[in-house]
Structure 1
């Protein structure tokens, strides 16, 4: 049976966090030689490399598993310390989560706030399609993602569906879509995207026109400002239905097509070997997700 020494796992996590053997040695108050010895012993126990020799060092697939183990040990140790010495708890367990901007902006923050009194949260903002890289590497304990299949060492629970509608300001419609919403007008009308990872607009274009269109593009990488850019007529874009009910009701925004939409299924993935704190956060997020379809 393979046995991984906790200090070796923590050493690998320190290298990843601090970027080098020397920085990890300083953080752990040991010599760089001791760091190298621990990594050699770890690789001997695992039977394969755990690091890619680059600057900064990267993790192999085996290394990612070991770092997840190290992070889980930290959570379990914090749970144990709080249980044994609650009077000395230092502000609660620390958890790192990956949440996409739209979920954070529209529904997820309410759940996180409900679980924040005894837990310190670090929220990494990442697109739902790309959040698993951080979870897989052990940089986060949980993530909201489009991917149903759990990454190794994690569980996956469906949260619901987030519906996006293609919308624009009325003045934008009058300027760009006088001839109707068709391939020619969509190819010419500017579109607003969150960032270069955001493919919701192109996803809708492919479904709606079944053709590859390349309209002029604006990139606005902040949820509130992204919506404001569309409201002010910079372009059309896909916005969460949860966010724009009032805009549609009062005429600030209008849909490009009455039945046009993109539905994005969201999942909560987290380490299987979690902790009391992670369980509390997961329950709060699932409760908040009841507003999804």
Structure 2
């Protein structure tokens, strides 16, 4: 690994981020031919292709292995620059993956101090959003250096830290409750009518509604009338507007419940989702990645209890 050209690894990371040679060249302020040449040198060293030249460009399995190394090298550079008191290179950024609901609730306050410091020191933090059951894929493939996930077991070379439990509850607007559920928050939704009610769903990876139904009525793999709203904030807004039954984080809908804009169905039923922070282990006295992990752990403890 010590023989790999850092500039070539930087090109590989740029290609992974920008998904094309032209944009990667623009990001690195070099020509496309220089990007291609550096990539060819790297591919020659490993003896196999690292990217599939498609649109959009994608990495091969070997490319993903080297991308992990490139990401870690980027993080080490940031740490060394910070220890020496130097300003970090403008393109330097650390990518971490978080789930949309955590991003909409507790992640931004948890990271605010580090982001404000980054404005002064020059490094950037990139937040990659995916479902909490899938953020771990980005860590394994080298796309990110850390992730908030529901996966408890650490990858080799990584460490894991429990963050807490995010509880999901079912909510509806008062108007929906009155018109569709007979005004009864405890018994209005039941095993005989849930299949006829519209349920709000974040995306096709989201199964929190099915989990809630399973908890409430003991029905496995229920067939639901789905209305997709692929934004955590818009999802809650849709519930307030009466678009259907939403299953959302209790901490996100709490203020709407307190002001009467939403009503909790079956308060005794909830889906508890345990969250964990995973990160690659980097050997540095002032590892920024360690500080990110600690900030997330502190923020989750305050928000999730």
* Cα separation, 2, equivalents of 1:274 and 1:102: 31
**Cα pair distance change 1:172/1:30, threshold 3 Å:** closer
Instruction: Give 2:121's aligned residue.
Output: none
SS of 1:140's partner is coil
Matched, 1:146 2:150: yes
Instruction: Give 2:208's aligned residue.
Output: 200
Instruction: Give 1:221's aligned residue.
Output: 230
TM-score scaled by length of structure 2: 0.81
Q: Which moved more, 1:283-292 or 1:133-142?
A: 133-142
Instruction: Give 1:232's aligned residue.
Output: 241
In the alignment, structure 2 segments of 5+ residues that lack a partner are: 119-123
Offset from partner CA, 1:12-57 (integer Å, 9 cap, x none): 223323434566567463673x655654553454455433353433
**Cα pair distance change 1:65/1:153, threshold 3 Å:** farther
Offset from partner CA, 1:192-228 (integer Å, 9 cap, x none): 1222322211222233331443333222222222112
Offset from partner CA, 1:56-105 (integer Å, 9 cap, x none): 3322333212112112212212322333353x456796322222221122
- The number of equivalent residue pairs is 291
Q: 1:268 deviation in Å?
A: 0.9
* Cα separation, 1, equivalents of 2:235 and 2:210: 16
Offset from partner CA, 1:82-133 (integer Å, 9 cap, x none): 33353x4567963222222211222111111021222232222222122223
* Cα separation, 1, equivalents of 2:57 and 2:229: 32
In the alignment, structure 1 segments of 5+ residues that lack a partner are: none
**Cα pair distance change 1:39/1:123, threshold 3 Å:** closer
**Cα pair distance change 1:35/1:241, threshold 3 Å:** closer
SS of 1:196's partner is coil
* Cα separation, 2, equivalents of 1:16 and 1:241: 36
Instruction: Work out whether residues 50 and 61 of structure 1, in 8 Å CA contact, stay in contact via their aligned partners in 2.
Output: yes
Instruction: Work out whether residues 10 and 67 of structure 1, in 8 Å CA contact, stay in contact via their aligned partners in 2.
Output: no
State the 4+ residue runs in structure 1 displaced beyond 6 angstroms. Answer: none
Instruction: Give 2:191's aligned residue.
Output: 183
TM-score scaled by length of structure 1: 0.84
